[in-house]
Amino acid sequence: MRTVFHSCLKPRAAYAIGIIAALLMVVVLVMQGTELWVTAQHRLTFAVGYGMAFCLAHLIGSAVLIRRGQTLSDSVSLWLGIAVFVLGLRQLSFLFISQASIFAVLEQLYSLTAYGLLGVVGWLGLKRYEYKDQKLKVSQKEINELKMALDAHAIVAVTDSRGVITRVNDKFCTISQYSREDLIGRTHKVINSGHHPKEFFKDLWSTITQGEVWNGEVCNRAKDGSLYWVQSTVVPFFGKDGKPEQYVAIRADITSRKEAEAQTQHMALHDALTGLPNRRLMNDRLITTIQSKERYPSFGAVLLMDLDHFKEVNDTLGHALGDELLREIAQRLTQCVRKVDTVARLGGDEFVIILDRVGADLTAATQNTKSIGEKIRQALAEPYQLGIHQLSVTPSLGVVLFDASDDDSEELIKQADIALYSAKEAGRNQLCFFEAILQEETNERALVLQELRKVLERDELKLFYQPVVDDQQNILGFEALVRWFHHEYGSISPIDFIPLAEQSGLIIPIGAWILETACWQLAQWSTDPERQNLTMAVNVSARQFNQAGFAEQVQEILIRTGARADRLRLELTESMLHDNIESTIVKMETLRKLGIRFSLDDFGTGYSSLSYLKLLPLNQLKIDKSFVDDIFEDPSHAAIARTIMALGNSLDLNVVAEGVETQQQLDWLLDNGCQSFQGYFFSHPLPIAEIETLLRAKQAGHATEH
Residue 94 lies in a domain: yes
Q: Please tell me the predicted confidence (pLDDT) of residue 227.
A: 93
Domain presence at residue 52: yes
Q: Is residue 139 part of a domain?
A: no
Q: What percentage of the chain exceeds 70 in pLDDT?
A: 88
225 Cα distance to chain centroid: 31
In this structure, are 303 and 368 located in the same domain? yes
In this prediction, residues 647-674 reach a mean pLDDT of: 92
Higher per-residue pLDDT: 132 or 553: 553
- The pLDDT score that the predictor gives to residue 43 is 46
Q: What is the rounded CA–CA span in Å between residue 701 and residue 476?
A: 16
149: in domain: no
Q: Say if residue 34 is in the same domain as residue 115.
A: yes
Q: CATH number, domain at 247?
A: 3.30.450.20
Is residue 255, in this structure, part of any structural domain at all? yes
Summarised one tens digit per residue, pLDDT across range 211-231 is 899 999 999 999 999 999 999
pLDDT for the residue 547? 87
Quick one: pLDDT band at residue 479, thresholds 50, 70, 90?
very high
Best mean pLDDT range from 3-7, 400-404, 435-439, 666-670: 666-670
Shared domain for 673 and 536, answered yes or no, is yes
Looking at residue 312, which CATH number applies to its domain?
A: 3.30.70.270
Of 205, 235, 259, the one marking the end of a domain is: 259
Bridging pattern class, strands 490-492 and 475-486: antiparallel
Kindly report the average pLDDT of the chain as a whole number.
84
Choose the most confident range, by mean pLDDT, from 78-82, 643-647, 700-704: 643-647
Q: Is residue 136 part of a domain?
A: no
* Whether residue 250 sits in one domain with residue 219: yes
- Does 456 lie in the same domain as 426? no
Structure confidence at residue 525 as a pLDDT band (50, 70, 90): very high
Q: How far is it, in rounded angstroms, from Cα 616 to Cα 545?
A: 15
Q: Which of 95, 129, 163 is the last residue of a domain?
A: 129
Cα 533 to Cα 531: distance, rounded to the nearest angstrom? 5
Question: Is there a single domain that holds both residue 236 and residue 332?
Answer: no
Q: pLDDT tens digits, residue range 427-471?
A: 889 999 887 666 566 667 777 788 888 888 899 999 999 999 999
Q: What is the reported pTM?
A: 0.52
In whole angstroms, give the CA distance from residue 579 to residue 311.
10
Closest CA to 58 of 34, 80, 26: 80
315 with 304: CB under 8 angstroms?
Answer: no
Separation of alpha carbons 371 and 377, rounded Å:
10
Distance CA 521, CA 357 (A): 64
For residue 329, is it within any domain?
yes
What pLDDT shows up at residue 4?
44
The helix/strand/coil state of 416 is helix
| Structural domain count, the chain | 4
Over range 388-402, report the average pLDDT: 91
Residues 213 and 293 in one domain: no
Question: Distance (Å, rounded) from C-alpha 157 to C-alpha 649?
Answer: 96
* 134 falls within a domain: no
Domain that holds residue 161: 154-259
